[in-house]
Amino acid sequence: MAHKQTIFTKNGLKIVGYVLTAAAVVLLIHVVHSTTLPVSDLKILIQRFPYLLIRNQEGWTIQGGFFMNILISLASMAISTVLGMLLGIARIAPQRLIRWSAWGLVQFFRNSPWLVVIYAITYLLPYQVSLGFTLVKISPVAKAIMALSLVVSANLAEIVRGAIQSIPAGQWESAQAMGYSRWQILRLVLIPQALQRMIPPWMNWYAILTMGTTLTYIAGVQEGLVCVREISENEPQLAVPLYAILMLLFFAYCYPIARWTRKIEEKFSYLS
Amino acid sequence: MIFNLDYTWLSDPTYQAMLGEGIFNTIKLSLICIVCSLVIGWIGVWLQDSSWGWVRRGLQVYIQIFRNTPPLVQMFFLFFVLSEFLPKVNDPATGGSSPLLGSFSSAAIMLSLFSGAFNIEILRSGVNAVPRTMIEAGESLGYSRMQCSIKIVFPLALRVCLPALNSNLINLIKTTTLASGIATPELLYFAGQIYADNFKTLEVMLLIWVVYVLLVGLLVVLSGWLERALKIPGYGT
């Protein structure tokens, strides 16, 4: 049976040591700098922590905060994966018109700064749309998800194209020799093999997307950074520790993803 | 709605001057950060071979922190930390005190550190890709370690890691837009000033989008030219 990683193993103790060191450094900076007692500040921090996480001190409904960042990243990644797959297949289409328009779209969205895209989509889309008989409100969260999906799908399209093109040409040719149509080759032969090669860069882009969700404050989303600013307006001495705690939250979410990506890359390195 | 765009405000020389200054400051910030992050990258690669464990571990901590936290939060955190912990400068003319490092310097420091962390990983992968036999051949010809690094390892490592390095520098230009959050006078900040003035948010933002795509596209073309110009036949991809 494989060696089980608990916090009492050597690596587990190392991780606990790093976390405690980080907490001690944050506390030390705060004690050296602030004028108030650290105990009362700790009490305020613990009391406000739910506000930072879900922007809600009374119940359990997620109205914003750090969990909103996670939700936006999950929704946006789901949409981007589908769109990116389609765009990536369009990039290698035999028809010149499809290929060139896909190239143009991918280049345009890969080269745009994310903040500018979120700004533009926020003001481009109306805040409500009338579909004949009903009025559909487009919330800030929806606009943020759409904007992030546009940029990330362009980047995923390049990954899909690279993965499909890295499969040996023999697969294409033997499938064609057996009479498969182009869509059948893609669906049954190439994409199942390409999926394995796509996973490490795909996870890397998920981490980048999660870190890009902090930019959505522009659209009006009440996410983690907005909550940090609101809390530090009332308690200005807590500004630096709160930013540090938000960074630690993102680190705790993204660092395991990075480690896992590296492990998957090494496991699949026999393919390249 | 999209065809009712009104760009008559572009003929106003004030707005033209603001946009021009914004573009100039964006290019200036990008160039400073590209150079500084490359320097940080090379210093980091050199330090990674250090025989002291705490230097190697400290470098890993720096890299992992800057790679796994959002750049916007890093920007605000560094801005607050730098403005509170560094000494304040007293302006004799007005009698007021301002922080030692303004928003431009804080943004430059943060972006260099952020991009430098990625550069260390990229340059390290390039240096590791140089075959050991090349270094042994250099040593057998009498090159010292420093001469080996400069004349043999560096040119080959550069060609291997150039695509990843270029994509990181392109990402750096896109990340300079975050500096507008701490009131750095770059293009996105001036765009905000313009639409706070004339309320034409959509038109201003679409124009800024196209300008940024062109700027980044210019760097993409330059980096592609550099890759082709530095190509050694038979080596690398």
Is B180 within 8 Å of chain A by CB? yes
pLDDT band at B214 (very low <50, low <70, confident <90, very high): very high
Q: Is the pLDDT of residue B2 over 70?
A: no
Residues 6+ apart with CB under 8 A from A221: A64, A68, A72, A140, A141, A144
pLDDT band at A22 (very low <50, low <70, confident <90, very high): confident
- Mean pLDDT taken over chain A: 87
Please compute the mean of the pLDDT values over residues A46-51 and round it to a whole number. 86
Is B235 within 8 Å of chain A by CB? no
Asked whether the ipTM of the predicted complex exceeds the cut of 0.95, the reply is no
- Nearest C-alpha in B relative to A117: B209
Residue B80's pLDDT is 85
- Mean pLDDT taken over chain B: 89
Residues 6+ apart with CB under 8 A from A80: A148, A149, A152, A153, A156, A209
A130 three-class SS = strand
B67 — alpha (psi -120 to 50), left (phi > 0) or beta? alpha
Is A206 within 8 Å of chain B by CB? no
Q: State how far the Cα of B26 lies from the Cα of B216, in Å rounded to an integer.
A: 11
Token pair 């592609």 in the structure block, residue: B224
User: Positive or negative, the Cα torsion across A107, A110, A111, A117?
Assistant: positive
Q: Is the pLDDT of residue A72 over 70?
A: yes
| Chain A residues near residue B67 by CB distance under 8 angstroms | 258
Could you give the C-alpha distances from A154 to A60, A108, A157, A222, B215, in angstroms and in order?
A: 35, 9, 5, 26, 18
Q: Which of A202-206, B8-12, B21-25, B219-223 has the lowest mean pLDDT?
A: B8-12
Residue A209's pLDDT is 95
**Two structure tokens written together for B169:** 């520098």
Residue A117's pLDDT is 95
Q: Minimal Cα–Cα distance from A35 to chain B, Å?
A: 13
Q: State how far the Cα of B160 lies from the Cα of B137, in Å rounded to an integer.
A: 19
Residues 6+ apart with CB under 8 A from A179: none
Q: State how far the Cα of B189 lies from the Cα of B197, in Å rounded to an integer.
A: 13
Q: Is the pLDDT of residue A214 over 80?
A: yes
pTM of the model: 0.88
Q: State how far the Cα of A58 lies from the Cα of B21, in Å rounded to an integer.
A: 48
**A107·B76 Cβ contact <8 A:** no
Q: State how far the Cα of B209 lies from the Cα of A32, in Å rounded to an integer.
A: 44
Is B90 within 8 Å of chain A by CB? no
Which of A73, A119, A230 is the best mutation test for B, with the most CBs of B within 10 A? A119
Please compute the mean of the pLDDT values over residues A211-217 and round it to a whole number. 94
The per-residue pLDDT for range B128-152, each reduced to its tens digit, is 988 899 999 999 999 998 888 888 9
Q: Is the pLDDT of residue A84 over 60?
A: yes
Residue A134's pLDDT is 86
Please compute the mean of the pLDDT values over residues B196-223 and round it to a whole number. 92
Is B2 within 8 Å of chain A by CB? yes
pLDDT band at A97 (very low <50, low <70, confident <90, very high): very high
Q: Phi/psi at A93 (nearest 5 deg)? A: -70, 150
Residue A142's pLDDT is 94
**Two structure tokens written together for A194:** 């390409």
**Residue A144: count of CB within 10 angstroms of its CB:** 27
Give DSSP secondary structure letters for A15-46.
HHHHHHHHHHHHHHHHHHH-SS-HHHHHHHHH
Q: Is the pLDDT of residue A35 over 60?
A: no
Q: State how far the Cα of A191 lies from the Cα of B62, in Å rounded to an integer.
A: 38
B99 — alpha (psi -120 to 50), left (phi > 0) or beta? beta
Which of B19, B61, B174 is the best mutation test for A, with the most CBs of A within 10 A? B174
The per-residue pLDDT for range B149-161, each reduced to its tens digit, is 888 998 888 888 8
Q: Cβ distance A110 to B174 under 8 Å?
A: no
Residue A135's pLDDT is 86
Q: State how far the Cα of A173 lies from the Cα of A190, in Å rounded to an integer.
A: 11
Please compute the mean of the pLDDT values over residues A194-215 and round it to a whole number. 92
Q: Minimal Cα–Cα distance from A180 to chain B, Å?
A: 32
Q: Cβ distance A247 to A32 under 8 Å?
A: no
pLDDT band at B89 (very low <50, low <70, confident <90, very high): confident
**A111·B209 Cβ contact <8 A:** no
Is A246 within 8 Å of chain B by CB? yes
Q: Where are the extended beta strands (E) located within chain B?
A: 88-90, 97-99
Q: Is the pLDDT of residue A29 over 90?
A: no
Q: Is the pLDDT of residue A7 over 80?
A: no
**Two structure tokens written together for A96:** 């010149």
In chain B, % of residues over pLDDT 70? 98
Token pair 């293009």 in the structure block, residue: B187
> Which pairs with CB-CB distance under 8 Å and at least 24 residues apart come from A164-169?
A164/A88, A164/A89, A164/A92, A164/A190, A164/A191, A164/A194, A165/A92, A166/A194, A166/A197, A166/A272, A167/A193, A167/A194, A167/A197
Residue B141's pLDDT is 93
- Neighbour-count burial of A219, counting CB atoms closer than 10 A to its CB (0-12 exposed, 13-18 middle, 19+ buried): buried
Please compute the mean of the pLDDT values over residues A184-203 and round it to a whole number. 90
Q: Is the pLDDT of residue B36 over 90?
A: yes
